[in-house]
Structure 1
Amino acid sequence: MKRIPITQHGFTLVEVMVAMTIGLLLMSGIITILTSSHQTYRVNDALARIQENARYAFHILSKDIRMAGYFGCAGNGVPTVNTLNPGPPNPPDFLWNLGQPLEGFEATSATGWTPALPPSGAIPSPLGGRDIIVVRGVDDSPTKVTQQPGGNPPDSADLKVTAGSGFKENDIVLVTDCMASAIFQITNVNTPQGTNVNTPQGMDNLVHNTGNPTADTPGNYTKALGKDFTKGGELVKISTRSYFIRMAETWPSLYRKVGTKQADELVRGIEDMQIEYGEDLDQNWTADIYRTAEAVANWGNVVSVRISLLLQTIEDNITSQPQPYIFNGITTTPTDRRLRQAFTTVITLRNRVS
């Protein structure tokens, strides 16, 4: 009977140590690849979010600024009666200064702007060092005027439009027939209920009576609009819209305040906004020089607006070390590890170049 030799099976300690070392090296490589891929994903995702936020911010700003001063067919040269308090010869309050469709405030320090900001929280808690732009114009599509009771010129406090017009009490509106226009505050809206000889079915009665102003509304110093607007008359909502940078929780954001409403956060992560205004000096509808707000010689000559935005990521620790950036011609090295990117666009005022 042949004997089968007995052999020892298994690994030596040296072989085990070598295998473990190789395994650790492979695991370290895999972890490095995964960490690098995750970091690359975070950076790319952060850049994509910054670019998308910039695109959306410019979309909102461009849409509003482009239409600054648009009041339907009541263009330049159309006489306008402004019935809002305080009334002539006093200048209109900031929110009702509809004769100036575009207005800017240049940040001159961490707490100051030129010209000085309006009082009463019209632009609440803006971040210093950031410019502010104010746009005035039409808010919605026009509604046709169907009746305007009164004499000639009518002096009643009523205008009738199609029912369901959407107009509300305290709305600031403009009525125009392209030959003349008037601005007033709606003090009451009567919607027909059953048979009403004063407000026929199918119509809303918009009352614009005189009254004392409040903290939120100017009131009307007169109810006379100066003309009968039933022939081709249209009614549109108008408002003052202010854009500024303000802190939201722990990050800066672009805010918009419409009239006396609460300010709304529009886009997060907008750290800075610097604005220049293009003035047409030779009446050829083209900007000849760009100036900051305090240096604009004539706001009526502004035909374009150049806006620069600095955006940052909401999340910190995106990069391995602080990343220097250039904005408004100045190189800055931050103390955090957020990503930042600067964007600039030029917006043409349609109602000044056509």
Structure 2
Amino acid sequence: MVAITIGLIVTAAVSTLFVSTKRNYLEQDRQAKMQENARFALNFLTYDLRLSGYYGCLDEVNSETVNNAVSAGLFLNVLYPVEGLNNATGTWYPSANTTLPTSIVANTDAIVLRMASPSSSVQVDSPMPNTSAQIKVDSVAGLSVGDIVMLSDCASADVFQITSVQTSSLHLGHNSGSGTPGNSTQQLSKRYSPPAKVLKFTTRTYFIRNNSSGIPSLFRQDNAGAAEELITGVDQMQLTYGKDTDVPPDKIPNIYLAAGQAGLQTPAEWSRVRTVRIGLLVRTPSESGGDKDAHTETWNLNGYTAAAYTDNNRRRMFHVTVNMRNL
């Protein structure tokens, strides 16, 4: 009888230890996946923030240097390399466009980044005979009808949609009246010559939306295409922008403001943005076991306070400040 009792005690102790060890392992695994998701989310955002405003060798973007031939809405407003949306309030700054990302989670921020891709460039091979002529390039590899591209030299740039690709003669067409969104004109701003380059142009929007399982997640949308889910379990994104207020400017931010806040509304004010401070609130991919805790904690991301959550997910805030290299 004593032996049986001792055996039962040992069995119970081993079972308790096993259950506790498994629970700890699962919790550590959830925490590790949460941190990995946060790292990937910040990597995506950081890479594109550093690339935004890259327009080939063109140093400064303004209405005199960039001609947009595309029939465009929000996604091709090329004069603004970066735009911000604060708390899904309905207005992008500085363009004042009111087109919201589809199903954006309330009270979350979004950001639009515009850039040419340095890995997709081909070089103009001979001077254009006139501004509406096809463009002779040294290669058409990676280019397709419908692509939005930027034709850029070190003095100016044109953005247009490719309407024809001649693989034998290596010519790119840019007619009007076809394609989506299509070109509003066939005329470019000038006759381009070597060594001008043609680069794919992208407007990339980052925002928070619930995925098909109802979990808030980080989504990315390129141009006017379908949004894709990047990272699951991103509850909140809050962004502030580092503005250089010195006269003359020294490219060092003196103050951080939210999009649309006084001092960060007009194109002139946004031209002083030098950095972006990202705040993410990321949850574990699944709830912790056991009874739900009485959650009372709140979360402060870049000045925005997120209320306590009622589920049993663990959460953590992640912050990073990114320098905008091309602004």
Of 17, 27, 32 in structure 2, the residue corresponding to residue 48 of structure 1 is: 32
Residue 58 of structure 2 corresponds to: 74
Residue 105 of structure 2 corresponds to: 127
**Structure 1-normalised TM-score?**
0.81
**2:252 is the counterpart of 1:286:** yes
Deviations 1:202-237 (A, max 9, x none): xx211001216x6x41x2232222333222111111
**2:122 is the counterpart of 1:147:** no
Residue 256 of structure 1 corresponds to: 220
Once the 2 structures are TM-superposed, how far is the Cα of residue 39 of structure 1 from its aligned partner? 1.1
Once the 2 structures are TM-superposed, how far is the Cα of residue 281 of structure 1 from its aligned partner? 0.4
Residue 231 of structure 2 corresponds to: 267
Deviates more, 1:154-163 or 1:308-317: 154-163
Report if the CA contact (8 A) 2:84-2:110 is conserved.
yes
Of 199, 202, 220 in structure 2, the residue corresponding to residue 236 of structure 1 is: 199
Amino acid of the residue matched to residue 123 of structure 2? K
Amino acid of the residue matched to residue 80 of structure 1? T
**2:121 is the counterpart of 1:169:** no
Report if the CA contact (8 A) 1:319-1:339 is conserved.
no
Residue 59 of structure 1 corresponds to: 43
Of 185, 193, 197 in structure 1, the residue corresponding to residue 161 of structure 2 is: 185
Alignment of 1:1-354 (within 5 A): 16=1, 18-76=2-60, 79-86=64-71, 93-107=73-87, 112-115=89-92, 118-119=98-99, 123-141=101-119, 142-150=121-129, 154-192=130-168, 199=169, 204-211=170-177, 216-217=180-181, 219-248=182-211, 249-282=213-246, 283-295=249-261, 296-297=264-265, 298-318=269-289, 320-322=291-293, 324-328=296-300, 330=305, 332-352=307-327
Once the 2 structures are TM-superposed, how far is the Cα of residue 334 of structure 1 from its aligned partner? 2.3
Q: How many residues matched?
A: 310
Report if the CA contact (8 A) 1:239-1:259 is conserved.
yes
Deviations 1:48-92 (A, max 9, x none): 111111111111100001121110101116743424245xxxxx6
What is the CA–CA distance in structure 1 between the aligned matches of 2:174 and 2:97, rounded to whole Å?
A: 30
* Cα 1:290/1:149, change in 2 over 3 Å: closer
Gaps of 5+ in 2: none
* Cα 1:333/1:25, change in 2 over 3 Å: farther
* Cα 1:67/1:319, change in 2 over 3 Å: farther
Once the 2 structures are TM-superposed, how far is the Cα of residue 332 of structure 1 from its aligned partner? 4.2
Report if the CA contact (8 A) 1:319-1:338 is conserved.
no
Amino acid of the residue matched to residue 157 of structure 2? S
Amino acid of the residue matched to residue 337 of structure 1? N
Gaps of 5+ in 1: 1-15, 87-91, 193-198
Once the 2 structures are TM-superposed, how far is the Cα of residue 271 of structure 1 from its aligned partner? 0.9
* Cα 1:224/1:57, change in 2 over 3 Å: same
Once the 2 structures are TM-superposed, how far is the Cα of residue 344 of structure 1 from its aligned partner? 0.6
Larger Rg: 1
Report if the CA contact (8 A) 1:107-1:114 is conserved.
no
Amino acid of the residue matched to residue 138 of structure 2? T
Deviations 1:108-136 (A, max 9, x none): 6xxx33447644xx622111111111101
What is the CA–CA distance in structure 2 between the aligned matches of 1:239 and 1:134, rounded to whole Å?
A: 10
SS in 2 for 1:39: helix
* Cα 1:318/1:148, change in 2 over 3 Å: farther
Report if the CA contact (8 A) 1:209-1:220 is conserved.
yes
Amino acid of the residue matched to residue 201 of structure 2? I
Amino acid of the residue matched to residue 144 of structure 1? Q
* Cα 1:178/1:59, change in 2 over 3 Å: same
Amino acid of the residue matched to residue 54 of structure 2? Y
SS in 1 for 2:34: helix
Cα RMSD for the two superposed structures: 2.1
SS in 2 for 1:241: strand
Deviates more, 1:267-276 or 1:133-142: 133-142
SS in 2 for 1:345: strand
